Structure 1
Amino acid sequence: MMKKLLLSALFLSFFGMVSYAQEATEGAVTDEELTQYATVEVMTSQFVDQKTEELRNMILNNEVIDGGARYNEIKAAWGDDAKMTEANITEEEKAAYQAILDFQGSLQQSVVDYKTNLITDSDVISVSVYNKVLGALKEDPSVKEKLDSLIEELKQEASEGEEDGSAEAAEDGK
């Protein structure tokens, strides 16, 4: 659910970016441009996965809040002084829970910043190519189908690369 919320917010935030850099780019989207766009999407998805895992670890491995069950108790009582007293929530737990909330609240902006940086300050894609592909996606459903297929292909390649890397690491450890 957190991942969907982050991706939805990210998607909406880029409507603003598109309007600020609305360059009329003529011509059909090339395979190279589509690959660049797909690469941005995959990299952003991997970043979201990484941040979601950080949040999960922050909750489950917290030294003050003893695991997910206690986290859920605090979450259920949060903001209601009577419930917090009844649940015996300590000042340390309040501070730890607030730190988790702060991290959670910063996730959306960190994803937006990450993707914006990929588009504006990296060699992955240019703003004009990003906008060209985005425009084509809105106009032609076949471009969306091709993009979705390409994204799945890139994700599959990335996961196979991770599996190979962990197999090699296991062999090195022998």
Structure 2
Amino acid sequence: MDNAARAVTQQQGLAEGDFLPFAAGWPQVRDGYLRWLAQHEKTGAVFRQAEVQTRQPLGALQLVGTIDRIDAVSSTGEPTPLVIDYKTENDAVTKKRIGAGAEDTQLAFYAALLSHDTLRAAYVNVGERGETQMHEQEAVVHLRDLLVEGIQHDFARMAAGAPMPALGEGSVCDYCAVRGLCRKDFWK
């Protein structure tokens, strides 16, 4: 992991000092992640893919996304895909995401990108103080089905000419790929 950090620093053309704030905390982050990974693998999880760019047809639409990591987990029988999205935010924020159910669509969307009816999904919060925690969305298949139904409904309404409400909430709008198309910027 240290070699990878050095290689990326060079590839990005960063000066030694540019990476210094992160480098100071890196040993704790690395060690915490490796402790989590060892425990995760003891549960039977096996790494399958990372940075998975995928597309999934949805009627006339096509869902497109990149999944951080996919593992296979098996306690008995057929291995089940486990979709993992890494987070570096405060752990309380990650817990809140999981508790939001259908309001947090990220894991449900990633589940929709895969053609599995049995899968698991979780956020892995990589903490700055060496505490890495996994927060699983237990109802991800149900949430995926709700999201897919909602997408199909909204696109059918748009195709019929219905106006769509601006639904952006909180800081997610700062990073949205359709910023500028959404009417939220024009709210008073």
**TM-score interval for Structure 1 and Structure 2 normalised by the shorter chain:** under 0.3
Q: TM-score by structure 2 length?
A: 0.23
Higher relative contact order (CA 8 A, sep 6+): 1
More strand by share: 2
